[in-house]
């Protein structure tokens, strides 16, 4: 009986902790700046210079013809409650935004850099992807609606 009570207490504590969370932010990898990408020069930049700019890649592959491909990746997400439930519900009831018609906004960013080095370790080619999106959910638990749109590019990217 004591084990069940203890287990129930832990479950309730974890659930309440999750309801209290207002904003959540996660990221994997190191964010890359356009200024560093601009420093990559085909036929000029060496592997050592690439690693000075971006650090060690998450993966390096040998291609069949002796060239190498270096891969860098970053993924980040920021989630925060929105709407009436976020302001009123969270003030009086932990996690109230979930029940009071609030919603959440998730800003996501994904960056991928692939660099092909020739046999001499010089940048032969590279591909840079930097995408962002916003996912907006509205409504309560029973009336949830979600939309995802591309995020406008910030001027400092």
Q: What is the pTM of this model?
A: 0.66
Q: Where are the domains of the chain?
A: 23-150
pLDDT, tens only, 109-134: 999 999 999 999 999 999 999 999 88
Q: What letter would DSSP give residue 139? A: S
Q: Which of 30-34, 39-43, 100-104 has the lowest mean pLDDT?
A: 100-104
Q: What letter would DSSP give residue 151? A: P
Give the β-pairing of 24-29 and 68-82. Answer: antiparallel
């Amino acid at each position: 009986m004591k084990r069940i009570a203890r287990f129930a207490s832990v479950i309730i504590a974890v659930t309440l902790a999750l309801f209290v969370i207002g904003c959540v932010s996660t990221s994997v990898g190191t964010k890359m700046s356009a200024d560093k990408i601009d420093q990559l020069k085909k036929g000029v930049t060496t592997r050592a210079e690439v690693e000075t700019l971006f650090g060690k890649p998450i993966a390096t592959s040998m291609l069949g013809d002796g060239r190498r491909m270096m891969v860098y990746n970053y993924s980040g997400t920021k989630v925060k409650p929105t709407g009436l439930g976020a302001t009123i519900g969270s003030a009086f009831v932990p996690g109230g935004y979930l029940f009071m018609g609030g919603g959440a906004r998730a800003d996501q960013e994904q960056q991928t850099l692939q660099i092909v080095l020739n046999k001499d370790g010089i940048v032969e080619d590279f591909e840079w992807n930097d995408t962002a999106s916003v996912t907006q959910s509205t409504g309560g638990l029973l009336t949830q609606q979600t939309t995802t749109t591309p995020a406008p590019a910030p001027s400092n990217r």
